[in-house]
Amino acid sequence: MARIIVVTSGKGGVGKTTTSAAIGTGLAQAGKKTVIVDFDIGLRNLDLIMGCERRVVYDFVNVINEEANLNQALIKDKRIENLYILPASQTRDKDALTKEGVEKVLNDLAERFDYIVCDSPAGIEKGAMMALYFADEAIITSNPEVSSVRDSDRIIGMLSSKSRRAEQGLEPIVEHLLITRYSPKRVNTGDMLSVEDINDILAVKLLGVIPESQAVLKASNSGEPVILDSESDAGMAYQDAVDRLLGESREFRFIQEEKKGLLSRIFGG
């Protein structure tokens, strides 16, 4: 049985697409047949982050409308075996995704993939609902910042009341918390919510903590998911998250400020 994982947040710009690309790539590297589906209709961006923007011919909505079949729309990653992308459409039609249409495409994907990673759009409107409705697991992506944490809690509410699993009284969606853009230094100076703070408020099992990192911008500039930059802090943190998702236990790294020299310790920084 394929696992459907939604990467969701409520608030925009917190790192969902970065995360979908990294985690999807990591799962494929671990030998799982994986497809990453862009649910951000009208604002397609996963293709750019994955570096396949010039290979998009057909998209998710074309498949729903039967203007193309899955084989025509799926883009096979050139770097990683077992990795495919289903791009979002650029239509402005908000109703392009129907529950029936999405269900049919996900069912077809489930026949050939182990993992279906759904990159949700921001908000709590229809697009975000569609992305989470059929999920088995959710990666709730949150920045250490008040509005992002509050929106995460709203999304948690929706996962447990508005999803297919909730409506049909099935086992609830497995929730994971992923904190991104974390800066241990600012936590130490009292300017940023800590991992413990966020955990106290949301009470969702922690999947990973991704540091604020230069590597993310570099990765998006070059269309390489950041997990492939395996020397970088963010790349390693995403790799740990993938390993945890697959049931391994990994120590949390990059949550303490790096040790500094004596001078800078005395004078702060």
Partner 1 sequence: MSLLDYFRSNKNNTAQLAKERLQIIVAHERGQRAGPDYLPELRNDILQVIRKYVEISPEQVTVQLEQKGSNLSVLELNVMLPEDNK
Residues within the interface to partner 1 (CB under 8 A)? 145-146, 149-150, 153-154, 157, 161, 187-194, 197, 200-202, 264-269
Please choose which of partner 1, Mg ion, ligand ATP, none residue 150 contacts, taking the beta carbon within 5 to 8 angstroms, the exact cut-off set by kind.
Answer: partner 1
Contact call for residue 97 and ligand ATP (CB under 6 A): no
CA 182, chain centre distance (Å): 16
Where does the chain have alpha helices with state H?
16-29, 46-50, 60-64, 70-73, 99-112, 126-133, 146-159, 164-167, 184-188, 195-202, 214-222, 233-245, 262-267
Helix (H, G, I), strand (E, B) or coil at 55: helix
Q: Which is nearer to Mg ion, 16 or 32 (CB)?
A: 16
Is 220 a binding residue for Mg ion by CB under 5 A? The answer is no
* In the block, residue with structure tokens 């497995």: 174
The single residue listed with the structure tokens 């390489």 is 224
Q: Which residue lies nearer to ligand ATP by CB, 122 or 155?
A: 122
Q: Which of residues 17-46 bind Mg ion (CB under 5 A)?
A: 17
Question: What is the Cα–Cα distance from 184 to 187, expressed in whole angstroms?
Answer: 5
- List the one residue out of 162, 122, 119, 121 whose CA is nearest residue 139: 119
CB 203, min distance to partner 1, A: 10
Minimum separation from the CB atom of position 153 to partner 1 (A): 5
Q: Which residues bind Mg ion (CB under 5 A)?
A: 16-17
Q: Which residues bind ligand ATP (CB under 6 A)?
A: 9, 12-18, 40, 121-122, 180-181, 210, 212-213, 216-217, 220, 234
